Amino acid sequence: MTIDHLIGKLLLRHNCVIVPSFGGFVAKPISAKVDFDKGIMTPPSKALLFNKQLINNDGLLVNELAQSSSVDFETASIQIKEKVASWNKTLKSGGRIELDKVGHLYLDAEQNICFEQDRFFNLLLESFGLGNIHFLTEEDVKIVEQKQTTISIKENEIAPIQSVNIEEKRVAPIISIDKNSQPSVVPVAIKSRAIIKYLAAACFVPIAFYSIWIPTKTDVLESGVLSLNDFNPFHTIGESEYEFHTLSSKEEINDVDSKSLNSSISELPEEVEVYQYKLDDTNYIPVKIKSNNSSPEVEVEDQGFQPNSMNYIVGCFGDKSNAINLVSSLKEQGLEAKIVDQKGGLYRVSAGSALSVESFKLIESKAKSLGFSGWTLK
């Protein structure tokens, strides 16, 4: 243990410790103090003073150093002298000497040794573990009484509602209640979690309603189109009205103002039926309906062929209408086409027939030039 630590250790048990040829530390016990202005009560302690006149060796510090370092008295005395020489050198150079749990030493402007005690350590063993006690002064009590607010609730009087911070978890207002009055309800801050629940419920109700309304009460699933009217439960769609009317080529259309529309309808054949979809009192949409039997009837030839006649077959169809369409197309291109017969459920279409080979080759060549290939039926 160093000399610096030994001085503080000895001052716990003794009231005077002398450093030979340097000076002595004198401890004076002081009683507890009460500072009413600052509101602090300090426990009993020791006040230290440094006296540079106490330089004679009383043997206390030397014996303690010899026992702690396991050296003889002379060796301990030499170590103390070396330490004192080092301290004097430090002080002359303007430095400070720090003594553990004791304080520090330094030189003032007049080269006098000054000492400041360590106020954070109490050298009085009887006060071990005791610290400063803080209490309220009279001035502090007055300030607290001025800041303390109470709400006096009178009869038939409701406490005013104050603004509340939503983020606060709870509010605990101070209420003073008279003995003869009933406590009134004091507003409590609503928790933010409850507000979030209310908002979530308010958003869920319309979503649940429209998730059932739109698929069942609108035609979104059929049309694939969603409009703003689909979100209006009170929107109604009027029933469409159709008017059946048969037109002839000589009949005039007086209800439609469009000149191009009149000319288009007038060009239709007499047997074509036209329907009108009523939009309002003046506008109509004409609808043309194609007849299933629009193509002219083509008679099926008898199977009684002339002897040695040849037919160039270019198509066989199970549906008679397809066979009729092919005959019409071939006739438009200059061929004497016809439906020869029906065999095995198929209508056989001939591009033409001939008795001689030369005439048949002409029919075959013309059909092939038009893109029709076939086979010979005799």
* Max mean pLDDT range (136-140, 151-155, 166-170, 250-254): 136-140
The DSSP 8-state label assigned to residue 231 in this structure reads G
User: Hey, what amino acid is at 64?
Assistant: E
CA angle, 287 then 289 then 290, to 5°: 145
Q: What is the pLDDT of residues 169-209, one digit of tens each?
A: 444 444 444 545 444 444 444 456 778 888 888 888 888 88
CATH assignment of 3-133?
A: 4.10.520.10
Backbone angles phi, psi at 223, to 5 degrees: -90, -25
pLDDT value of residue 20: 93
- Report the top-level CATH class of 310-377: alpha beta
**CB of 167 closer than 8 Å to CB of 192:** yes
- Domain extents in the chain: 3-133, 165-178+189-237, 242-288, 310-377
For the beta sheet containing 375-377, the strands, ordered from the edge strand earlier in sequence to the opposite edge, are 338-343, 346-354, 310-317, 375-377
Note the pTM of the prediction, 2 decimals.
Answer: 0.37
> How are beta strands 133-134 and 346-354 bridged, if at all?
unpaired
pLDDT value of residue 279: 59
pLDDT value of residue 128: 74
